[in-house]
Amino acid sequence: MRLGNVNIRTGPSTSYEIITTVTNKDKLIRLKKGINNGESWDKVELENGVIGYIFQKYVDEVEQLPDIEDDFVESDEEININFGNNIIVEGREISGINYNENTVKHIKDSISTDLEIEIVNDKNQILKEDDKVGTNSKILVKRNDEILRKYSIIIYGDSNGDGKINSIDLLVLQRHILEIQKLDEIYQKACNIRKNGGKPTSVDLLLIQRHILGLQQIEQGVQLFNIEENNVEASNTNLETLAIENVLLYPVFDNNITNYDAEVSKDVEKLNILAIPENENAKTEIIGNNNLKEGKNLIKVIITAQDGITKKEININVYKRNSKEEDNYLEKQRQNKQKLENTYETQKVVAQNTQSNRIDKQESKEKRNTLIIICIFIIFIITGIIIGIKISKTNRKALRFAVI
């Protein structure tokens, strides 16, 4: 770097948004180099992975990398091209394309020009007339095979460039939010369903999900939230979480409740309160949490909405025990613990006795069954003997008659 602070922009012109600034201590990796309106620009990657454009004259080469054919060189020539009424053109990005009519044919039909139009996908493969156009697809305006302009397309909700809005887009955005796999800038824009210029969040994830379920369609060309809805969000003072470390709140946290009670030890000077607003742009302030005194203390949690005007106040009535109460509390805890231990021992003895009785009953049952089997066996033997004796007597009588 040749200067102290130089801007990194989203595109190769000073008209593009500034992403960040770098100093002469920062190292950049040149990805591509080219000329835009007579100015030399480099597409670079920062050490933190951010990709953007920097004015070439501000960069010193430490290690020469091979030149790569530039993909953003444009002609200085004015061209005659008009897009459909619903299409929004910002710089070299195009949005507002009807999601149900995002084929190559529909897009070409919406463009008026005497130049050649070619559309490629995010992998620079030429698309056919019936192919769907997705995020980061490009409209190439050409004359005699020379590219005069390139426009990148944004389909809101399409986070993977296939021109569809489905569960895959949910997965891709979720991985981005969890910082498992970061999205390139244009895909982040496509995931910012609210079109508020911020980074995509779990709110956008929910909006894509609602679109897939058919509950609320994603608007491509206009702001999704109208003024009234924006005001509702901007005035949101609800908390997502209210909790105190190692302390129970009574009653259980609910956004409809603004008064809570809590009790703490005599040694506690300050509470670790977790108060997270639903709207990430809202602010929280905690008053009265320092140097808690014995007895009653009032802690206030004040939530100021994004609009800076709407506020909500939550009161936490904290009772700090004195030395005597602390001793009584600890004694009661000790007694409760002893009761629990006694109850446990009693239940343990009962369980052991129950188990012993079950074993005795099982053994008794087994002995009884064995005795029954033996008795049946003896009866069977005796019956056999009796039958044998009767048969023997019958045979002797028959023999006597035969002799006579």
pLDDT in tens, 93-108: 999 888 888 899 999 9
pTM: 0.42
Separation between Cα atoms, residue 46 and residue 52, nearest integer Å: 8
> Which position has the higher pLDDT, 86 or 72?
86
pLDDT number for residue 229? 43
Give DSSP secondary structure letters for 103-171: BHHHHHHT-EESSEEEEE-TT-PBPPTTSBP-TT-EEEEEETTEEEEEEEE--TT-SSSSS--SHHHHH
Phi, psi for residue 287 in degrees, rounded to 5: -120, 140
Torsion, Cα 366 371 376 380, to 10 degrees, reads 130
- Work out the pLDDT band at 379, boundaries 50, 70, 90: confident
pLDDT number for residue 158? 93
Please give the C-alpha separations between residue 70 and each of 13, 73, 316, in angstroms, as whole numbers: 15, 6, 62
Q: Report pLDDT digits (tens) over 364-375.
A: 777 787 888 888
Reduce the DSSP state of residue 261 to 3 states and report it: strand
Nearest partner of 164 among 103, 225, 84, 87, judged by Cα: 103
- Work out the pLDDT band at 139, boundaries 50, 70, 90: very high
Taking only Cα atoms into account, the Rg of the chain, rounded to an integer number of angstroms, comes to 41
State the residue for tokens 């430490």: 62
Reduce the DSSP state of residue 259 to 3 states and report it: strand
* Cβ atoms < 10 Å from Cβ of 106: 17
297, 287 contact by CB (below 8 A) = no
* Structure tokens, 357: 């009785």
pLDDT higher than threshold 60 for residue 399: no
Please give the C-alpha separations between residue 297 and each of 60, 249, 264, 317, 327, in angstroms, as whole numbers: 62, 14, 11, 6, 20
- Work out the pLDDT band at 226, boundaries 50, 70, 90: very low
Separation between Cα atoms, residue 113 and residue 21, nearest integer Å: 38
Separation between Cα atoms, residue 136 and residue 87, nearest integer Å: 15
State the chain's mean pLDDT as an integer: 81
pLDDT number for residue 300? 94
pLDDT number for residue 67? 41
Residues recorded for the chain: 404
- Work out the pLDDT band at 319, boundaries 50, 70, 90: very high
